[in-house]
Structure 1
Amino acid sequence: MSFITLTSDFGTKDHFVGAVKGAIYSELADAKIVDITHEISPFNITETAYILKNSYKSFPKGTIHIVGVDSELSADNKHIAISLDDHFFVCPDNGLISMIASEIQPTKIVEINIHDRVESSFPVLDVFVKVACFIARGGNLTVIGKEIKEYKKLIEIQPKVNQEQNQIIGGVLYIDNYGNVITNISRKMFNDIGKGRTYKINASRYTFTKIYNKYNEITDNNSTDTMQFDGNKLAIFNSAGFLEIAVYRSNLKTVGGASTLLGLEYRDPVIVEFFMESKPEYSSLN
């Protein structure tokens, strides 16, 4: 039996998550259900895409991912099921899949058409669960909908390159549980555009001229009192390969996080500027 994951902005206070799990178990008593998160900021498609892109590959091939963020059916927000990278995604066509499919093209996309039989104000429960369980039983996607070739593109998450000014103009994509600020500037883009040149990173009123490979590199790995570095600001490429502005050993209840200390919020600009000078203090991770 395939794994079924759940990602939503439902939170855990209300009955929604429990109802969805109950509906899955009612159809598949031996289902294996995993919560990725239910703490997505309400209706935040970009945040959803970032979390899914960096979590789905950890699951076995054949896993079915139900996505319940901004899922109400409309003429502009259809429901789709996708086969991509040997995984299945049952989700709204609101642009979130474009980040997941930025490097790997979907094998098959169908527009779900069971709505003629199911009218619902809770499509994750009444539509997505049925589709996911059908796929889990080995059902073919073309049975639940007509095949389509296109899906909505989420243009806003793409950084821009200004060749004349030697800049990458990115922005805040996600703020994690530590208050660290993740941008949409990837390590690959940084290396491709920078070509080993010196640089500076402008984030709010702060400037960074060094990118660390690990958080604790800021301590020089020699200090016996690493606590003296708590709260220091740094730039790093995180495990997902995106440029991150962080605070060493951040704690939102004490020293604060990069978001609050630097005044950075979702969509705020982060700009990398390159110069024709000596090589920066940064070694690419292979």
Structure 2
Amino acid sequence: MAIITLTTDYGLKDPYVGAVKGAIFKQLPNVNVVDISHFITPFHIAEAAYIIQNSYITFPEGTIHIIGVDAEHTPENRHVAVLLNGHYFICADNGVLCLIMNKLRPEKMVEINIHDRIESNFTMLDAFVQTACHIARGGTLEVIGKPVTYLQRIAGIFPQVSDQHLYIHGQVIYIDNYGNSVTNITREIFEKIGKGRAFELSARSERYKKIHERYSDIVNFDVNEEHRDVDGKGLCIFNSAGYIEIATYKSNPLTVGSASSLFGLRIDTPVIINFERI
């Protein structure tokens, strides 16, 4: 049974997500439709790129991923279908696949050219759904598009490194449900540039000189629980996706606050790591 995933910035208040699912089931009643997220910050490509990069790989090869973020079809925002790492991606050519493509080369890429047969201006309901159902039936990309050789990249999605490797200049690209702030600085680039040197990570007024492996690393379990006083304490970790994350221990945005609310961290907030000179 084919799997089609949906990632959008539509939210769930409006009829759009339901309409997309209805259009898919109308063509393929037995397809398996999976919601990845419908709460991407509107038009925020970097956030969508992070979510897609860290979710698609858990699905079986052959899964079809529809990405409806900043997807209006214009002369500067073409629609593409891409076969990458055994998965199909249907999206606008707006840089949303650049994190995945940073290390992997697509097997096939086409610009979708079926728009002249579509009357609606609802991108996901027409072009993307038609393309996804075509692939799910076993159709090839060449039938619905012409080959392309490149895709757009997002300006600023990757951190900048000084020529002398004295600092990494990154930014917050995602804030999760706990208010933890994920940066675009990966463990890989941190270790490659840092080479074990002492460092200071700064984000607004916050300063950190250590990056933990787990949230609970800041807890001294030799101290009785009532005397620990670590709830809401700030820390940095390498999260499960391999990115540096600024968090608070057992945060709750609705009660005690979170890294985002307590430290004033927002998407695009600068995050700088300064390394000691050798």
TM-score range, shorter chain: over 0.9
RMSD of aligned residue pairs (Cα, Å): 1.2
Cα deviation 1:18-50 (Å, max 9, x = unaligned)? 111111111101000000011111111111100
Residue 153 of structure 1: aligned partner? 153
CA distance in 2, matches of 1:165, 1:81: 38
| 1:274 aligns to 2:271 (yes or no) | no
CA distance in 2, matches of 1:147, 1:100: 19
Residue 54 of structure 2: aligned partner? 54
Runs of 5+ unmatched residues, structure 1? 278-286
Question: Are the counterparts in 2 of residues 198 and 276 from structure 1 also a CA contact under 8 Å?
Answer: no
Amino acid at match of 2:255: T
Residue 37 of structure 1: aligned partner? 37
Residue 245 of structure 2: aligned partner? 244
Counterparts of residues 65-76 of structure 1 (less than 5 Å): 65-76=65-76
- 1:65 Cα offset (Å): 0.2
CA distance in 2, matches of 1:120, 1:92: 17
Residue 260 of structure 1: aligned partner? 261
Residue 21 of structure 2: aligned partner? 21
Counterparts of residues 194-213 of structure 1 (less than 5 Å): 194-213=194-213
CA distance in 1, matches of 2:233, 2:223: 14
- Structure-2 change in CA distance of 1:165 and 1:138 (3 Å): closer
- Structure-2 change in CA distance of 1:264 and 1:126 (3 Å): same
Residue 216 of structure 1: aligned partner? 216
- 1:120 Cα offset (Å): 2.4
- 1:164 Cα offset (Å): 3.1
Residue 284 of structure 1: aligned partner? none
CA distance in 1, matches of 2:84, 2:232: 40
Amino acid at match of 1:191: E
Secondary structure, counterpart of 1:207 in structure 2: strand
CA distance in 1, matches of 2:220, 2:203: 24
Amino acid at match of 2:60: P
Residue 190 of structure 1: aligned partner? 190
Counterparts of residues 104-123 of structure 1 (less than 5 Å): 104-123=104-123
Identity %: 50
Runs of 5+ unmatched residues, structure 2? none
- 1:276 Cα offset (Å): 4.3
Secondary structure, counterpart of 1:50 in structure 2: helix
Counterparts of residues 150-189 of structure 1 (less than 5 Å): 150-164=150-164, 166-189=166-189
Count of residues in Structure 1 that have an aligned counterpart in Structure 2:
277
Structure 1 length-normalised TM: 0.94
Residue 103 of structure 2: aligned partner? 103
CA distance in 1, matches of 2:183, 2:249: 17
| 1:135 aligns to 2:112 (yes or no) | no
Stretches (4+) displaced over 4 A: none
| 1:228 aligns to 2:266 (yes or no) | no
Question: Are the counterparts in 1 of residues 48 and 69 from structure 2 also a CA contact under 8 Å?
Answer: yes
Question: Are the counterparts in 2 of residues 172 and 183 from structure 1 also a CA contact under 8 Å?
Answer: yes
Structure 2 length-normalised TM: 0.97
Amino acid at match of 1:265: R
Question: Are the counterparts in 1 of residues 219 and 230 from structure 2 also a CA contact under 8 Å?
Answer: yes
Moved more, 232-241 or 158-167: 158-167
Question: Are the counterparts in 1 of residues 166 and 277 from structure 2 also a CA contact under 8 Å?
Answer: no
